[in-house]
């Protein structure tokens, strides 16, 4: 007597609470003669798994063939349902300085440089359409960004990705002033129906350590504190980059590999926001 173990397992790599969900199979199971079928996970092209297992009740080869065919058919139906349900459009506005503008990447100067084009590609796997708006500028401080967010926020929905601080630190602006500007941006976004997501700065490994954190690390800690206070999702690039200087182009701006990491961090933050709504 033989037992058909796993016929198929399908998965998408992403934490199940970090991604949007149109249809959810929490736990559905049933037995049909020789077969037990379990669906679990999420739909909308998101994490899911389909497990088909045969139960040892018959030696009939014909029955085994029918079970395999039925298993394959139901498996394909799960794929179709999971990949097509709940798809929606999303709008993303990228607001920031030279990092958001992609300096140090091979796509610097393009319409969606640095992490922006990479992020759009990631989001297009899950949403039916992604409208990306690049509102970054080189050498833009958080104060100048505050004026820009007032223009961006009016009459617009979607997600606002906010990343400032590098230029401010270079110009000698206090870390508290930077965070106050960021906090005001968050308030403007909320007041206009935008969903703000705050990013921390990539680390400066040449001037930072656990025992003596530098200005970037100290600013990032204040940004985390403000995000908790405002109840907004944080895209913690500092943590994602920590301990890997090979992700940086010049000590402040990421290289292509670093921007890939940033895109993944932003994507997970957007999925968090989508799931919480």
Q: Assign residue 213 the CATH number of its domain.
A: 3.40.50.1110
The whole-angstrom separation of Cα 12 and Cα 228 is 29
**180 and 47 in one domain?**
no
**218 and 139 in one domain?**
yes
**234 and 206 in one domain?**
yes
**136 and 48 in one domain?**
no
**93 and 74 in one domain?**
no
- Expressed as residue numbers, the domain containing 38 is 24-84
φ and ψ of 234, to 5 deg: -105, 135
Q: How many domains does the chain have?
A: 2
**209 and 72 in one domain?**
no
Boundary-marking domain end, from 45, 62, 84: 84
SS3 state at 212: coil
**94 and 68 in one domain?**
no
Beta-bridge partner residues of 25: 41
Left if phi > 0, otherwise alpha if psi is -120 to 50, otherwise beta: which for 130?
beta
pLDDT in tens, the chain (277 residues): 443 333 332 223 333 333 344 433 333 343 334 334 443 344 443 433 333 343 344 455 555 555 565 556 555 554 544 444 345 889 999 999 999 999 999 999 999 999 999 999 999 999 999 999 999 998 899 999 999 998 888 767 899 999 999 999 999 999 999 999 999 999 999 999 999 999 999 998 765 556 567 899 999 999 999 999 999 999 999 999 988 999 999 888 999 999 999 999 999 999 999 987 7
Radius of gyration for the alpha carbons in the chain, expressed in angstroms and rounded: 23
The C-alpha angle 79, 80, 83, rounded to 5 degrees, equals 80
**228 and 109 in one domain?**
yes
Q: Which helix (H) or strand (E) holds 153?
A: helix 142-153
């Amino acid at each position: 007597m033989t037992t058909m173990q796993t016929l198929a397992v399908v998965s998408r790599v992403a934490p199940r609470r970090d991604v949007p969900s149109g249809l959810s199979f929490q736990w559905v199971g049933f037995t049909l003669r020789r077969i037990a079928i379990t669906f679990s996970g999420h739909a909308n092209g998101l994490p899911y798994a389909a497990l088909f297992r045969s139960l040892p009740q018959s030696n009939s080869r014909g029955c085994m063939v029918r079970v395999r065919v039925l298993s394959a058919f139901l498996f394909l139906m799960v794929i179709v349902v999971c990949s097509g349900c709940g798809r929606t459009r999303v709008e993303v506005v990228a607001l920031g300085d030279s990092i958001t503008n992609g300096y140090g990447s091979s796509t610097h100067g393009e319409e969606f440089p640095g992490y922006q084009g990479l992020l759009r590609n990631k989001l297009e796997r899950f949403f039916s359409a992604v409208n990306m708006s690049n509102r970054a500028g080189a050498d833009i401080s958080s104060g100048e960004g505050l004026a820009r967010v007032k223009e961006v926020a009016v009459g617009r929905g979607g997600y606002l990705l906010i990343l400032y601080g590098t230029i401010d630190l270079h110009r000698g602006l206090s870390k508290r002033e930077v965070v106050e500007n960021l906090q005001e941006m968050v308030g403007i976004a909320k007041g206009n129906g935008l969903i703000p997501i705050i990013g921390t700065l990539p680390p400066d490994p040449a001037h930072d350590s656990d025992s003596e954190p530098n200005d970037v690390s100290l600013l990032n800690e204040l940004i985390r504190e403000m995000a908790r206070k405002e109840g907004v999702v944080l895209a913690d690039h500092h943590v994602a980059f920590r301990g890997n200087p090979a992700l940086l182009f010049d000590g402040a701006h990421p290289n292509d590999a670093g921007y890939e990491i940033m895109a993944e961090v932003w994507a997970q933050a957007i999925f968090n926001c989508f799931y919480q709504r």
